[in-house]
Structure 1
Amino acid sequence: MNSAPSVSLPALLAREMRLGERLLWSGQPDARRAMLKPFGFYLFAVPWSAFSLFWEGIAIRMAFTGAPALMGLVMVLFGLPFVVIGLAMMAAPFSARRTAHRTIYGVTDRRLVELIAGRSLKVRSVEASSIGPVTRRQRESGHGTLSIETGSHRDSEGNRTTDTFVFESVPDVARVEALVSRLRETMTPA
């Protein structure tokens, strides 16, 4: 399977522009930093997977060496989900890296856009009129994460939940924040 989209991400983003809309900024998340975020899962997954595989080995051995067949089969089946969960946790950093390579963010003169190219194209956008408070987390390198509040809703339990639009691990995050703030100000009624 080809890991890169057949069309470049900037070209896909350009296709999403509306008539008369101008792209002010676009950028991709830093794939290396995206990989580090779920790395804690990986560290936990190693002993989890080792124990799960050990369990499966014992269960398979019991199933084929004289233990009651039903008991051995139950133990093998019981252990399988734990093996699958362990392998999924071990794959999490690599999956995050692959997603970062397929993601591009954009700030236009009308909205914020996130595009993820994969087997299908996922496009998420927020109109400038929905932009609320902005939170910036920045590293010394200038890379950082921008969290933009876009509204709120009540969840199934009746609790108020804040909706956010996130530009994860982008270069020159302070510049992106300034563009987003300027966009919000232009759309705020006087």
Structure 2
Amino acid sequence: MRSGERLLWSGQPDARRAMLKPFAFYLFAVPWTAFSLSWETIAVRMAFTGAPPLVGIIMTLFGLPFVVIGLAMMAAPFSANRTARRTIYGVTDHRLVELISGRTLKVRSVEASSIGPVTRRQRENGHGTLSIETGSHRDSEGDRTTDTFVFESISEVSRVETLVNRLRQTAAAA
């Protein structure tokens, strides 16, 4: 926090909900990884049995990246859960803040003057996601891309939307 800055709201994403988004990877990753491990088993057996060892070694090396990709896809939901548990969102009287702790602390903030249109997706229980447009830029192909700041899967999403809109109005009036 900066000197004189007041925290108006803080919260964390729902870690269980964070797992759902990459779960589609998990459903694809199981057969992918099973096939890759089967390939590796056959390749290793070929390297140590009657087949020319070079063929088995080449097949083993070819299959390794597929095993690694499969394991990474299977880990994606658990990684998202872990990241969500380490994430804290905040709304102050000057800016929006996201903190993600890990080996290093990642801090991302957006000044009130950069807050644009806000989109709220809300479930019946009051939890939801708030997407805040913060600007735009041109990507490497020259297409215009909108920059967003997202409070993912938070409780009291309508209350947070009200705070963000007030912050935007205050910045516009100043």
Task: Give the structure-1-normalised TM-score.
Answer: 0.90
User: CA separation in 2, counterparts of 1:45 and 1:140?
Assistant: 32
Match of 2:38 in 1: 54
RMSD of aligned Cα (Å): 0.8
Distance in 1 between residues matched to 2:129 and 2:63, nearest whole Å: 39
Deviation (angstroms), 1:69: 1.4
Task: Tell me, in whole angstroms, the C-alpha distance in 1 between the residues paired with 2:130 and 2:96.
Answer: 12
The aligned residue for residue 136 of structure 1 is: 120
TM-score (norm 2): 0.98
Give secondary structure in 2 for the equivalent of 1:181: helix
The match for 1:118 is 102
Q: Alignment length, in residue pairs?
A: 174
Counterpart Cα distance in 2 of 1:42 and 1:76:
24
1:183 aligns with 167
Structure 1 residue 67: deviation in Å?
1.1
Distance 1:162 1:129 in 2: 16
- Does the residue aligned with 2:133 lie in a helix, a strand or coil? strand
* 1:36 and 2:16 are equivalent in the alignment: no
Shift of 1:141: 1.0
**Structure 1 unmatched runs, 5+:** 1-16
Aligned to 2:85: 101
- Residue 85 of structure 1 aligns with an amino acid whose one-letter code is I
Q: Secondary structure in 2 aligned to 1:188?
A: helix
SS across alignment from 2:149: strand
Deviation for aligned residue 1:71: 1.0
Partners of 1:158 and 1:66 lie apart in 2 by 56
Deviation at residue 189 of structure 1 after TM alignment: 3.7
Paired letter, 1:166: V
Alignment of 1:83-94 (within 5 A): 83-94=67-78
| Identity rate, percent | 84
Unpaired segments of 5 or more residues in structure 2?
Answer: none
Deviations 1:133-185 (A, max 9, x none): 00001111111000000000001111100000000000010000000001000
